[in-house]
Homo-oligomer: A and B are copies of this chain.
Amino acid sequence: MLHLQLDPSSGIPIYRQMMDQIQRYIVLGAIGPGDQLPSIRALAEQLRVNPTTVVKAYTELEHTGIIERQHGRGVFVHRQVNDVLERRRDGLNAVGGLDQEATQLVFRALELGLDPTAVRAVVEDAIKHIMGGDG
Protein backbone atom coordinates (compact mmCIF):
# COMPACT_ATOMS: atom_id res chain seq x y z
CA MET A 1 0.00 0.00 0.00
CA LEU A 2 1.60 3.19 -1.24
CA HIS A 3 1.38 5.85 1.43
CA LEU A 4 2.22 9.38 0.38
CA GLN A 5 2.43 12.34 2.72
CA LEU A 6 1.41 15.60 1.09
CA ASP A 7 1.72 19.15 2.37
CA PRO A 8 -0.35 21.56 0.29
CA SER A 9 1.13 24.59 2.03
CA SER A 10 4.78 23.66 1.59
CA GLY A 11 5.21 25.63 -1.58
CA ILE A 12 6.29 22.50 -3.41
CA PRO A 13 3.75 21.48 -6.06
CA ILE A 14 1.67 18.51 -5.02
CA TYR A 15 2.45 16.57 -8.20
CA ARG A 16 6.15 17.09 -7.44
CA GLN A 17 5.77 15.80 -3.91
CA MET A 18 4.04 12.73 -5.29
CA MET A 19 6.76 12.13 -7.87
CA ASP A 20 9.54 12.44 -5.32
CA GLN A 21 7.96 10.06 -2.86
CA ILE A 22 7.07 7.41 -5.41
CA GLN A 23 10.61 7.55 -6.71
CA ARG A 24 11.90 7.07 -3.19
CA TYR A 25 9.80 3.99 -2.64
CA ILE A 26 11.39 2.54 -5.74
CA VAL A 27 14.95 3.51 -4.88
CA LEU A 28 14.53 2.04 -1.41
CA GLY A 29 13.11 -1.16 -2.88
CA ALA A 30 9.72 -0.93 -1.25
CA ILE A 31 8.27 -1.44 -4.70
CA GLY A 32 10.09 -2.92 -7.65
CA PRO A 33 10.02 -3.43 -11.44
CA GLY A 34 6.61 -4.56 -12.68
CA ASP A 35 4.79 -3.78 -9.44
CA GLN A 36 1.45 -2.16 -9.95
CA LEU A 37 0.80 1.35 -8.70
CA PRO A 38 -2.60 2.63 -7.54
CA SER A 39 -4.97 3.74 -10.25
CA ILE A 40 -5.27 7.45 -10.86
CA ARG A 41 -8.77 7.48 -9.48
CA ALA A 42 -7.87 5.44 -6.39
CA LEU A 43 -4.82 7.51 -5.57
CA ALA A 44 -6.72 10.73 -6.10
CA GLU A 45 -9.44 9.60 -3.73
CA GLN A 46 -7.02 8.32 -1.13
CA LEU A 47 -5.00 11.51 -1.09
CA ARG A 48 -7.98 13.81 -1.56
CA VAL A 49 -6.36 15.52 -4.50
CA ASN A 50 -7.62 16.35 -7.95
CA PRO A 51 -7.28 13.38 -10.36
CA THR A 52 -5.56 15.62 -12.88
CA THR A 53 -2.83 16.14 -10.33
CA VAL A 54 -2.22 12.40 -10.17
CA VAL A 55 -2.25 12.31 -13.95
CA LYS A 56 0.46 14.96 -14.02
CA ALA A 57 2.63 13.11 -11.53
CA TYR A 58 2.28 9.79 -13.38
CA THR A 59 2.85 11.43 -16.75
CA GLU A 60 6.06 13.06 -15.59
CA LEU A 61 7.29 9.81 -14.04
CA GLU A 62 6.51 8.02 -17.28
CA HIS A 63 8.54 10.55 -19.24
CA THR A 64 11.54 9.81 -17.06
CA GLY A 65 11.12 6.08 -17.59
CA ILE A 66 10.42 5.38 -13.91
CA ILE A 67 6.94 3.98 -14.49
CA GLU A 68 4.91 2.79 -17.44
CA ARG A 69 1.20 3.15 -18.09
CA GLN A 70 -0.50 0.30 -19.85
CA HIS A 71 -3.69 1.24 -21.56
CA GLY A 72 -6.63 -0.41 -19.84
CA ARG A 73 -4.46 -2.37 -17.42
CA GLY A 74 -3.04 0.22 -15.03
CA VAL A 75 0.19 1.86 -13.96
CA PHE A 76 3.33 -0.10 -13.13
CA VAL A 77 6.89 0.41 -12.04
CA HIS A 78 8.85 0.23 -15.26
CA ARG A 79 10.37 -3.20 -15.84
CA GLN A 80 13.68 -1.57 -16.77
CA VAL A 81 13.54 0.96 -13.96
CA ASN A 82 16.92 -0.17 -12.72
CA ASP A 83 18.47 0.71 -16.04
CA VAL A 84 17.04 4.19 -15.72
CA LEU A 85 18.40 4.59 -12.24
CA GLU A 86 21.75 3.25 -13.39
CA ARG A 87 21.91 5.74 -16.22
CA ARG A 88 21.02 8.48 -13.80
CA ARG A 89 23.80 7.41 -11.46
CA ASP A 90 26.29 7.81 -14.28
CA GLY A 91 24.80 11.15 -15.24
CA LEU A 92 25.10 12.56 -11.78
CA ASN A 93 28.68 11.38 -11.55
CA ALA A 94 29.52 13.10 -14.78
CA VAL A 95 28.22 16.42 -13.47
CA GLY A 96 30.34 16.12 -10.36
CA GLY A 97 28.27 14.06 -7.99
CA LEU A 98 26.57 15.69 -5.05
CA ASP A 99 29.03 18.49 -4.51
CA GLN A 100 26.83 21.09 -6.13
CA GLU A 101 23.74 20.04 -4.24
CA ALA A 102 25.58 19.93 -0.94
CA THR A 103 26.99 23.40 -1.57
CA GLN A 104 23.52 24.60 -2.39
CA LEU A 105 22.20 23.10 0.84
CA VAL A 106 24.84 24.82 2.93
CA PHE A 107 24.16 28.13 1.25
CA ARG A 108 20.45 27.80 1.86
CA ALA A 109 21.24 27.08 5.49
CA LEU A 110 23.35 30.21 5.75
CA GLU A 111 20.57 32.21 4.17
CA LEU A 112 18.26 30.88 6.84
CA GLY A 113 20.70 31.89 9.51
CA LEU A 114 21.84 28.39 10.44
CA ASP A 115 25.44 27.64 11.29
CA PRO A 116 27.48 24.60 10.13
CA THR A 117 26.60 22.60 13.21
CA ALA A 118 22.92 23.05 12.50
CA VAL A 119 23.49 21.91 8.92
CA ARG A 120 25.12 18.72 10.14
CA ALA A 121 22.17 18.12 12.45
CA VAL A 122 19.68 18.52 9.62
CA VAL A 123 21.60 16.08 7.44
CA GLU A 124 21.85 13.58 10.29
CA ASP A 125 18.12 13.80 10.80
CA ALA A 126 17.51 13.15 7.13
CA ILE A 127 19.82 10.12 7.18
CA LYS A 128 18.18 8.70 10.26
CA HIS A 129 14.74 9.36 8.91
CA ILE A 130 15.41 7.59 5.63
CA MET A 131 17.59 4.71 6.71
CA GLY A 132 15.71 3.89 9.88
CA GLY A 133 12.08 4.46 9.23
CA ASP A 134 11.32 2.98 5.85
CA GLY A 135 8.13 1.01 5.35
Chain B residues whose C-beta falls within 8 Å of the C-beta of A70 in the assembled complex: 8-9
Nearest B-chain residue to A9, judged by Cβ: B68
Whether B123 pairs with A20 at a CB distance below 8 angstroms is no
Question: With A105-B105, A126-B105, A130-B107 as given contacts, are A93 and B114 in contact (CB-CB < 8 Å)?
Answer: yes
Segment 50-99 of A: residues with Cβ below 8 Å from B: 63, 68, 70-71, 73, 84-89, 92-93, 96-99
Partner of A113, one of B92, B113, B122: B92
Whether A103 pairs with B129 at a CB distance below 8 angstroms is yes
How many copies of this protein are present in the complex?
A: 4
Chain B residues whose C-beta falls within 8 Å of the C-beta of A1 in the assembled complex: none
Interface of A is mostly: helix
Q: How large is the interface on A (under 10, 10 to 19, 20 to 34, 35 or more residues)?
A: 35 or more
Chain B residues whose C-beta falls within 8 Å of the C-beta of A24 in the assembled complex: 107, 110-111
